[in-house]
Structure 1
Amino acid sequence: MKRLLWLLLLVPLCMQGRTFKVANATVSYDKTESPQVIRAISDLKHDIAMVTGSAGSGASQIIVGTYGSKTIKQLIAKGVLKDKDLRGRWESYVISITNEKQPRLVIAGSDKRGTIYGIYDVSQRIGVSPWYWWADVPVTQNPDAAVECDYYASGEPSVKYRGIFINDEDWGLKPWAAKTFEKELGDIGPKTYAKVCELLLRLKANMLAPAMHSCTGAFYSHPESQQVADAYGIMITTSHCEPLLFNNAAESEWNKQRDGEWNYETNSATILKKLDDRIRDTKAFDNIYTMGLRGLHDEAMKGSTNPKDRARTLENVFAKQREILEKYKEKKATQLPQIFVPYKETLDIYDAGLRVPDDITLVWPDDNYGYMKRVSNSREQQRSGGSGVYYHLSYCGVPHDNLWIFSTAPMLMYEELLKAYTAGADRYWLLNVGDIKPMEIETQMFMDMAYNFKQFSYDNANAYQAEWLAKVFGQQHQEAFQHILDNYYRLAWDRKPEFMGYEMEWDTPEYARLYDTDFSFETGTAQKRLVDYQNICFAYDAIEQALAPEQRPALFEMLGYAVHSAYQMNRKFLYAQANHETGNVLYAEQCRDANRQINLLLERYNTQLGGKWNLMMSEVTPGYTALYHQMPTLTNRPTTAYRLPDNQRHPEFEHQINLGGLDVKAPFRLLTGMGTDWQVLQMGQPLDQKASGSINIPIPSLPASADSIQLCISVVPMWPVSTDRSNRLAVSIDQGKAATLENKFKEWGREWKIQILENRKDFVLTLPLDKARGQHVITLSIVDPGQIVQKITYQPVLKQ
């Protein structure tokens, strides 16, 4: 009876639908709370004051605590909190409102970061966006701001370690920090990193790979930066080329004249001494350690070029690095978070038989353009260290820089990360964000996936960003946001704005020059592209004009700058092409005007809000060898000097199959949000080795005189999921003999470069028709599950 009465007393404490007004609330916590939690509490007080206009001094109370503290123990005993939601859980939290005459809001975490995430969750519930500072999302004044809660338990994050890599900061973050935000230091330093760390916590991330180019002072050259990260509770990780937190790209860290060659085979003592010193100096902090070795910065290992010899060298490096970690961290290496990133040539070493200690997390990279190069096979999925991903939104390298504006299709990001996550990549997700801006909405999506991957699906991934923007700027704009984003990403899928000059960087003179595009004024694809861009610019302008003035800068930073800049970059090159084809000087003036508009957009970005973001958008050509920011040469007479080589032109035919109109059944699936026409046919799940089957595609009427058909089948240029798989599908006509199509390429080869720049691989083949059939049919059959067909065009071949 006593137990029943006790339970009845507890029931009201967990009732749903309570409301807690935060204005004037006093925030209380135990003195035993960590400094990181206490610092986040100060942010909560600041956020409440921003929203309500009132500082916390009233009778209402917000209780903040971490599992194990006296207050949290008491609340668990009273039934306000459930022990199972906190005990032994990683970075989890509970938000609850007590059933008392004077209700209290409770924020409880399983550990310090769990508590911090709970704090920032409350901030977001009352109207403070994670991007309130980094993207200037305005905070609406609301003296009645309240938390409505029916006992929310967050559960554990989908991915254990989640964060960003600030990279290629030369043209944005570095000049902005050095000359606008952190002038006193003249560098990216603790003041900048404090803002970065706050953003990460508000996005429920827990790690940061700091900027590491030689233009920037090495992270540890400003000791306060590490202290700032620790004060926020952010772990420091490093890129694939920074072993044991050591940045050899910075001359202050490694100087050839002083230290010799970065060659482990000939200079191991000096290298190991550097690594030893770094771990000794950072032993007090929580870090994630990059294991192994590459060359200086992003170069390959020095010494033997034989992958098997390199593998033996790296195995020795692993052993020495783990000795260093155990000496200073005073733990077994198996208890410390370590990663190995088989990036570029290091993947060849791994495939040559490299033995990576089982507890080290394998972090699989994409190919720098959004396509995962590998995911864990069945054997690798059994490793105690698990696996993770290193994914790019921004990249400086071959075949072309992608540093300027965001352009990674949301569905592509989801589809590729789904492959990795399904194969067990739940330990570590690192996102290369370049300069952070203007990658805000893509960063938000990636971090939300890393935190709660199960909330995403094929059905909602493409709609996520529009829904997120609508929550920020008004639900009435969601449909327009979807229209803008769908067309913006679709146009970038065919050709990213940075790629419109059709040059290939770090290539032979034949390819490393500006060319006219593959879009045609003769067939109308060039005009249509310009009209489509113009339409989404009009749609964007309509939304911006409908917003309150204080909302417009944020939308321009996150969306408008990219949409309008992409349009003008296309105008610049397409009108230059029209000028080359006709010699018409009016087209030349349109090209010049587009370049002026790009500069005006840059000026608006750098001067709005009193110049807060001045120099964040670069006035210098992004990258080292890119040409797309330059003006094309213009002419007053027709010329073919800039005509694109035939090997880079699409071999499409006049007639097209409507993939969206197909009757599709499992294991086939139609995906919206990828491909040249924004709908693709996925042929089974990539990791389902048992997937099989065919789909029949009726061909619209063909002339009776046709005895064969030419097909152009365009596929999405993904990588095989493992070394024992390929990229194959089979195609036949009228149940005749099937032809196997295999997209086999070599990274850095010409075929791969063209595929990356075009987001497609085209197969052209001719197959005979069965003349006895009335309705001709294309049959696509699964060979390697997961292949994605994005376009099918055809033309009949008439009997001679």
Structure 2
Amino acid sequence: MRSIIKSAAFLCAISSVSTGAWACESPATICLDENSGFPLIQNGKPLPVVISANANSAVRRAADAFSDDLERVSGSNSELLTSVKQAEGSLVLIGVLGENPLIEELVSQGKLDVDAIRGQWEAYQVAVVDKPWPGVDQALVVVGSDRRGAVFGTFDLSEQMGVSPWYWFADVPTQQQNNVYVTPGSRSDQPKVRYRGIFINDEDPALKGWAQKKFGGVNSGMYEKVFDLLLRLKGNYIWPAMWGKAFHLDDPKNTALADDMGIVMGTSHHEPMTRAHAEWHRKSENPTGGGAWNYETNGESIRKFWRGGIERMMSKKDGTPYESLVTVGMRGDGDEPMSEGTAIELLEQVVADQRDIIADVTEKPAKQTPQVWALYKEVQDYYDKGMTVPDDVTLLFADDNWGLVRRLPTKDVNREGGFGVYYHFDYVGVPRNYKWTNTVQIGKVWQQMNLSYQRGAEDLWVVNVGDLKPIEFPIDFFLTMAWNPEAMDTHALRDYAEQFAAQSFGTELAPKVADLIERYGTYAAMRKPELLNENTFEIGEIAEPKLKGGEFYGHYTKWQRLEQDMIAVKKQINKAQYSAFFQLVEWPIASMSNLYEMYFAAAWNKALVEVGDARSNHFMELVQTNFQRDSDLTDKYHQINDGKWDGMINQVHMNYVTWNDPEEQTMPTVSKIYGGKNNIEVQFEAMDQPENIQVIDASDFDTASNAKGLTWTAVKHLGQSNAGMLALPQGQKPTSVGDNIALSYKFNQPHHGDAHVTLELSPTLDTIARGGVRLAVAVDGKPAKTLSFDLHATGGGQHTPQEKAWAKAVINNKQLLEMTFTELTTGEHELKVFRIDDNMVLEKLIIKSAKTDTPIKQ
């Protein structure tokens, strides 16, 4: 279980002194305690690594990488050998069950028990074996049930030694160790989700421009680094970059590279039959230019095109197919709907024809070739209305492009092909593109993917990661959780940022760095930067001698405090750590803080100019400074580490007017009052909180009532309050007020009158198509009122009331439910919130009291 290893074994491994942590007590785990087991590195010298002479290329590559990792940790070379006879003394053996004679010998002699992994998918066993062969005292054996199992077991040891999966893609340094041990015994592990991967998307101009400068293009040189990262994160699947690109054609080395490294190739939700959409319009593939992407009018050409994709998949020299998860189905040209209506019969015919092609080319029943059908946007509507899907095809549900899963299994939950989820950390579309920086709160990812797993989506998890950087932290979390969603409980979620920080910057700084990462995630998720401008928030009141700051002031000040706290931690970062710190911590915080300050200043400039207040000039200069600083921060990112990341942060992110990108960065419009002083001191004070408003974090409940196997749980890093309140486990059936699964809150009514209650919730969607998500509220034991909301997220526009409500919810990252309780007496009252439906996350309660002239009935 990677999350457990990361929270215990790894922390022990990177500590400079013995901690006596779980790692040093668990079997076959890295430990730095002196003489605590099998010496992997001793007095600065690592053991040799042995593989069979005919080892699979993926195993060979992983073993070679592990040798490099041993050198990173020890400072000395580790030999890669193909015979035990070449080794002197102890060694590391890496291989696949049934493919390595040395492993088979150990199994047959009873020295290695592999029953736990035999016949499993991507499982691995790590074991310390005593006296495995004559003349060899001990061997550390990594055996996979298949080739990726061996790869994952190997990289698991690398990570425990202190080699971050992000050693290249975020320049995370490796702390050298003179002695590294492996505790005695054996352990095994395997994934809970079958396919786990990423989708590189919306990659122009940033990733594309960077790759052209670094590798000469989005080519095999770049993908070799991406695949290495993916495997070290225990991922196995990818949708490659697709904006005008064709993975299999752009670089002749790409296809073989993926197979050599053990990567399962796929294509995105609208690119069927292993074909990149860009291929359709290339004359090399279609001499006539392809023609219309219309199955009713040009079906013969399209089928020929698809056949070519499957033939290419079968073109491996040894006669076996390149390992692929074939996307089936069809959308319109350019990722648009295929038709105006619900084309169920047409889409069913498309898939039937595609499966005929697969069977004909592979000369096997279609069900023997893994396939996935993405129920994205309008395709989900087809499914909801009864579209027939072959039982062996994996059904890939999708979120709303903003991190809210739209639909989950309610029928055929045991179907052969199973289910998956396509999730987004990046998106181009309504209500606004978001591509520039990390705006992901991992608590939200956890809540939605935990729900998905509990409801049966356990065959494929794939996430749109845009340019891949700077979304390192949520990618790390997503793939860690995908390996074992059951191990990623609320405690593991709470500790995850600190574990990530420890891996990157050491245990001493980990709590401080983790606090920065967590606060950043909460603040950045509140509103995408592309949705910010000078009119986003209420600014306050113009007053003398101090301006009174409103909502915008609150956001501005918390970002400023976060940046100051980051600068304090930065002073403790050593030179070797700085490049990683800048990429993972400093740049995200500084750039977002700067953006908030710029729009905050633009808002005040506008307001003060309108009343002729010369303090406006101070804010005009601040906007100009911020605008230049944004460019300076980008330049610094592109120059750090000798320009390694030049071009990677080139996404436009300022002054959006419509949903799509502006053509260039532009500064907010500011004005100057001539004759006024430019260096006037400007001071703020916060506006007074009205006495008649009480704000209660949902986690500050007085009592919690649990029943039906459900327990109210405060989930840290979920939502904008201290913690989101959630009834766990997720995925359970509706309950009633009578079940009394409720949270109780005490509030004070300062006078006779009404209490207007607003519940702030994380926005979520009705994943079972029942017509909305419900809860109930009651005061003082009176009959409860049932409230619901139904955010309809087609992703196609904001025209209907439901779509407008959805757009408002995702823009503000909150959903509000409101009610009024009348004629409450002065004094204390009890408000109870009852669970009814699943996927309901309570964040905050706002209670506004109002006097009334209506006599109170005693």
Q: Answer yes or no: same fold by TM over 0.5.
A: yes
**Other-structure match for 2:182:** 148
- CA apart distance, 1:580: 1.2
Pair 1:664 & 2:680 matched: no
Q: Is the 8 A contact 2:162 2:503 kept in 1?
A: no
Aligned match of 1:644: none
Moved more, 334-343 or 40-49: 40-49
> 2:804 is matched with which residue?
750
1:242 paired to 2:271: yes
Aligned partner of 2:521 in structure 1 is 489
Match of 2:130 among 94, 99, 105: 99
Can you list the C-alpha shifts for 1:716-758, whole angstroms capped at 9, x where unaligned? 1100121125211122333334333221232242221111010
1:703 corresponds to:
750
Q: How does 1:205-216 map to 2 (within 5 A)?
A: 205-214=235-244, 216=245
Counterpart contact for 2:639–2:646, Cα < 8 Å: yes
What is the identity, as a one-letter code, of the residue corresponding to 2:537? T
The reply to whether residue 37 of structure 1 matches residue 37 of structure 2 is no
- The one-letter amino acid of 1:355's match is T
Q: Residue 40 of structure 2 is aligned with which of 8, 21, 46?
A: 21
> Contact 1:36–1:233 at 8 Å: present in 2 too?
yes
Conserved 8 A contact 1:715-1:789: yes
Distance in structure 1 (CA, Å) of the matches to 2:744 and 2:123 = 49
Residue 390 of structure 1: how far off its partner (Å): 0.8
- Specify every segment of 5 or more residues in structure 2 that has no aligned partner in the other structure, as ranges: 1-26, 30-35, 80-86, 315-320, 542-547, 610-615, 675-689, 798-802, 854-858
Match of residue 408 from structure 2: 375
Q: Do the aligned partners of 1:493 and 1:758 also contact (CA within 8 Å) in 2? A: no
The 3-state SS of whatever aligns with 1:103 is strand
Match of 1:632 in 2: 668
Question: Is 1:259 matched up with 2:287?
Answer: no
Q: 2: distance between equivalents of 1:297 and 1:255?
A: 17
Match of 1:688 in 2: 732
Superposition deviation, residue 687 in structure 1 = 2.2
Tell me if the contact between 2:716 and 2:723 (Cα under 8 Å) persists in the aligned partners.
yes
- Show the counterpart of 1:10: none
Cα pair 1:339 1:363 within 8 Å, conserved: yes
Report % sequence identity.
28
Of the three residues 207, 213, 232, the one matched with 1:202 is 232
The structural deviation recorded for 1:323 is 1.1
Alignment partner for residue 291 of structure 1, among 283, 308, 328? 328
Taking a change above 3 Å as real, the CA distance of residues 725 and 78 of structure 1, as seen in their structure-2 partners, is farther
SS at match of 2:509: helix
Using the TM superposition, name which of 605-614 and 628-637 deviates more: 628-637
- Is residue 2:842 matched to residue 1:793? no
Q: Residue 462 of structure 1: which of 494, 512, 520 is its match?
A: 494
- Secondary structure of the 1:453 match is coil
1:223–1:207 CA distance, 2 compared to 1 (3 A) = same
The question of 1:173 aligning with 2:207 is answered: yes
Shift of 1:694: 4.9
Aligned position for 2:535: 515
1:436 to 468, 472, 481: 468
Equivalent of 1:190, from 204, 220, 230? 220
Structure 1 residue 45, shift from structure 2 partner: 2.1
For residues 518 and 287 of structure 2, the distance between their equivalents in structure 1, rounded to whole angstroms, comes to 49
> 2:355 corresponds to which residue?
322
Instruction: Tell me the CA shift for residue 567 of structure 1.
Output: 0.4
Kindly report which structure 2 residues correspond to 1:335-414, keeping only aligned pairs within 5 A, or say none.
335-377=368-410, 379-414=411-446
Are 2:115 and 1:71 aligned?
Answer: no
Q: Does 1:109 align with 2:135?
A: no
Closer, same or farther: CA 685–54 of 1 in aligned 2, 3 Å: closer
In the TM superposition, what whole-angstrom CA distance separates every residue of 1:755-785 from its partner, at most 9, and x where no partner exists?
Answer: 10101122333221344x8532223223323
Aligned match of 1:579 = 605
Residues 15 and 675 of structure 1, relative CA distance in 2, 3 Å threshold: closer
1:603 aligned onto 2:635: yes
Per the alignment, do residues 699 and 637 of structure 1 end up closer, same or farther by CA in structure 2, a change over 3 Å counting?
A: farther
Checking the alignment, whether the CA contact within 8 Å between 1:707 and 1:798 is kept in structure 2 is yes
Q: Classify 1:124/1:658 alpha carbon distance in 2 versus 1 (closer, same or farther; 3 Å).
A: closer
1:532 aligns with 2:558: yes
Shift of the alpha carbon at 1:603?
1.1
2:778 aligns with one of 725, 732, 743: 732
Deviates more, 1:408-417 or 1:539-548: 539-548
Are the counterparts in 2 of residues 728 and 740 from structure 1 also a CA contact under 8 Å? yes
Aligned residue in 1 for 2:19? none
Retained in 1: the 8 A contact 2:526–2:812? yes
Match of 1:777 among 808, 826, 830: 830
Distance in 1 between residues matched to 2:791 and 2:155, nearest whole Å: 46
Query: 1:745–1:98: structure 2 CA closer, same or farther, 3 Å change rule?
Result: closer
- Residue matched to 1:86: 117
**Distance change in 2, residues 1:264/1:229 (3 Å):** same
Moved more, 49-58 or 150-159: 49-58
Which stretches in structure 1 are left out of the alignment for 5+ residues?
Answer: 1-13, 502-513, 639-650
* Deviation at residue 275 of structure 1 after TM alignment: 0.2
RMSD over aligned CA atoms reads 2.5
- CA deviations 1:634-674 (Å, max 9, x no partner) are 12369xxxxxxxxxxxx998321243321224243322212
1:580 and 1:637 in contact (8 A); partners too: no
Other structure's SS at 1:374 match = coil
**Cα distance change of structure 1 residues 32 and 263 upon mapping to structure 2, 3 Å threshold:** same
TM-score (ref. length: structure 2) = 0.83
In the alignment, residue 462 of structure 2 is paired with which amino acid?
A: L
Partner of 1:567: 593
Q: Secondary structure at 1:262's aligned position in 2? A: coil
Q: Is 1:33–1:65's contact at 8 Å kept on the other side of the alignment? A: yes
| Aligned residue runs from structure 1 range 227-238, under 5 A | 227-238=256-267
Would you say the 8 A contact 2:692–2:750 is kept in 1?
no
Question: Do the aligned partners of 1:684 and 1:787 also contact (CA within 8 Å) in 2?
Answer: no
**CA-CA distance at 1:537 after TM superposition:** 1.6
Q: State the TM-score, normalizing by the size of structure 1.
A: 0.89
Deviations 1:124-148 (A, max 9, x none): 2333221111111112333x34241
**What letter corresponds to residue 334 of structure 2 in structure 1?**
H
